[in-house]
């Protein structure tokens, strides 16, 4: 049971039905502490720990990666939200 715990979490966060406030978040955690996060509104990786700051500096140099993650709010979040929201609305 002793060991290290590392995980990645993808989230699409929004409150409005037109998805105008939608944000894509990609978080990297190690032993329950978030080290690094990408926020589509900010448009870059942000390090939250000493290790995360170094990773953010490295990853932000990869503009193809950053641009792809910025686009994820449209390609992943809005598309899936429309599908799941419509299925919920159809059931009510």
Per-residue pLDDT 10s for the chain (92 aa) are: 577 889 999 999 999 888 999 999 999 999 889 999 999 999 999 999 999 999 999 999 999 999 999 999 999 999 888 888 777 766 65
For residues 22 and 79, what is the distance between their CA atoms, to the nearest angstrom?
Answer: 11
Report which secondary-structure segment, H or E, holds 70: helix 63-72
Residues 6+ apart with CB under 8 A from 36: 27, 28, 45, 46, 47, 48, 49, 52, 55, 56, 59
Q: What is the pLDDT of residue 92?
A: 52
Q: What is the pLDDT of residue 33?
A: 92
Q: What is the pLDDT of residue 83?
A: 85
Quick check: 12 and 40 in contact, CB under 8 A?
no
Residue 22 — left, alpha, or beta (φ > 0 → left; ψ -120 to 50 → alpha)? beta
Give the predicted TM-score (pTM) of the model.
Answer: 0.83
Q: What is the pLDDT of residue 1?
A: 57
Quick check: 23 and 39 in contact, CB under 8 A?
yes
């Amino acid at each position: 049971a002793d060991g290290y715990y590392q995980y990645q979490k993808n989230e699409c966060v929004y409150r409005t039905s037109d998805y105008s406030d939608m944000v894509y978040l990609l978080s990297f955690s190690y032993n329950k502490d978030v080290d690094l996060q990408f926020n589509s509104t900010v448009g870059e990786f942000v390090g939250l720990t000493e290790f995360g700051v170094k990773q953010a500096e490295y990853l932000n140099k990869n503009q193809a990666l950053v641009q792809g993650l910025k686009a994820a709010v449209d390609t992943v979040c809005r598309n899936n939200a429309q599908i799941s929201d419509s299925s919920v609305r159809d059931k009510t």
